[in-house]
Amino acid sequence: MALMWQGRGIVAISVLLTVLISGLGSVMPGPALLDAEGSTNLMAAIWQVIWFAIYAIPLIPVAYVSHIAVLRGEVGFAAMLSNGLAGVLYFARGMMAAALVVAVLGTLYQLVFVSDLLLMSTGRVDASAALRLGAGAVVAFLVFVLFVLLGAWGAMIVQAGQARFGDVLAVGRRCFFYLFVRLLAVVLFLPILSALVLPVMGQVVAILVAIGIPADPAFLIVSAAFSALIGCFAIVLISLIFCRASLRVK
């Protein structure tokens, strides 16, 4: 929380951009991932990947200043300017590539397993569906392990100005248990946090409606703002974990 407060200007801009992007998304609805017959839609998958990448853009400055704050002690806009525009763009390019990979993997996971997940939600899961869901869980776990091993890329960029694959992997391997436990805790905590803020969101929406803002725009603004805040909180935590791991190895 201290890092978020120190970078509150960057966080505020991130929240504002997320609200604007959500507003744009509400007037540009994409096709459904599944059609009426339950078949997957390729254009919807591409649309989802694009929008995931767009939503990731406001979080990149938060990740950057969080890395700078932990590794160099500079905060806020001073952290953004510490490496110049070239440093920001280099970091952003890598983070956007990572966001695209996550978007593609997440979309592929939905395309392959969403029908089985829907069946499971209704209690109708046969042996083949259970096997596919089990395989999906294994794949998700392996992707998480890969993230643990390679997630220190950003910290290495800030520390050394470059990130060789071997150096990044060395951080992940030497601090694997440290990273795995803490990142898993973050992943498990975020749904709990989201559930805890729902009553607060409802109160804020009610206040906005009471002062004359229509219910639908009020809900869109509040949900986007709270989602951005939770996203910033997660990014700060993840950045802190990877930066401390890189410092342990240094």
**pTM of this prediction exceeds 0.85:** no
- Digit-coded pLDDT (tens) for 148-189: 888 888 888 887 777 777 888 888 889 899 999 999 999 999
Per DSSP, the chain holds a count of helices (H) and strands (E) of 11, 0
Distance, CA of 106 to CA of 15 (rounded, Å) = 23
User: Number of structural domains, the chain?
Assistant: 1
Q: Which residues pair with 40 in a beta bridge?
A: 34
Q: Which of 240, 222, 242 is nearest to 230 (CA)?
A: 222
Rg (CA), the chain: 20
Domain span at 223: 2-19+27-249
- Digit-coded pLDDT (tens) for 56-113: 888 888 888 888 888 887 777 777 777 777 778 888 888 888 888 888 887 777 777 6
Distance, CA of 48 to CA of 33 (rounded, Å) = 8
